[in-house]
């Protein structure tokens, strides 16, 4: 049952990351195309999208939280491990969705802050070039 939960949370986290990627794909492409004028922006777009999946899946699948279903509750006790009931399945799937969204949101926030800084620097450089000409 633990293996099924592990694969289910992975699939849910990947699906959520896929949806977020689909929503932000054109924005990421346009921002990086504007900041990086060379054709290398395509590689940067792929890297940022890859990072989105890595952050999303690693945020959504919390191994140390799932370990409670295979290890005893207290290290010194012989208490039984937690059971995977329907309620726990729903809770773990919900947790995977929320934590995936939270991890991806932080990653995109950091990306967009740095992209905004790069955009401002690029605009300043362009205006200086125009003044020299």
- Convert the pLDDT of each residue in 23-61 to its tens digit: 999 999 999 888 887 888 889 999 999 999 999 999 998
- Convert the pLDDT of each residue in 99-128 to its tens digit: 999 999 999 999 999 999 988 998 898 888
Classify 26 as helix, strand or coil: helix
d(CA 49, CA 42): 11
| Cα angle for residues 87, 104, 119 (degrees, 5° grid) | 165
**Cβ atoms of residues 104 and 56 within 8 Å:** yes
Which are the contacts of 65, defined by CB distance < 8 A and separation ≥ 6? 92, 95
pTM of the predicted model over 0.95: no
């Amino acid at each position: 049952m633990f293996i099924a939960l592990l694969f289910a949370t992975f699939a849910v986290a990947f699906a959520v990351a896929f949806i977020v990627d689909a929503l932000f794909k054109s924005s990421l492409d346009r921002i990086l195309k504007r900041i990086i004028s060379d054709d290398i922006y395509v590689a940067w777009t792929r890297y940022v999208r890859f990072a989105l999946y890595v952050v999303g899946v690693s945020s959504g699948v919390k191994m140390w939280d799932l370990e409670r279903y295979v290890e005893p509750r207290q290290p010194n006790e012989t208490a039984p491990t937690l059971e995977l009931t329907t309620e726990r399945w729903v809770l773990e799937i919900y947790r995977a969705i929320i934590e995936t969204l939270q991890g991806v949101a932080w990653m995109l926030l950091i990306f967009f802050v740095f992209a905004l800084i790069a955009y401002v620097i690029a605009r300043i450089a362009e205006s200086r070039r125009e003044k020299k000409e």
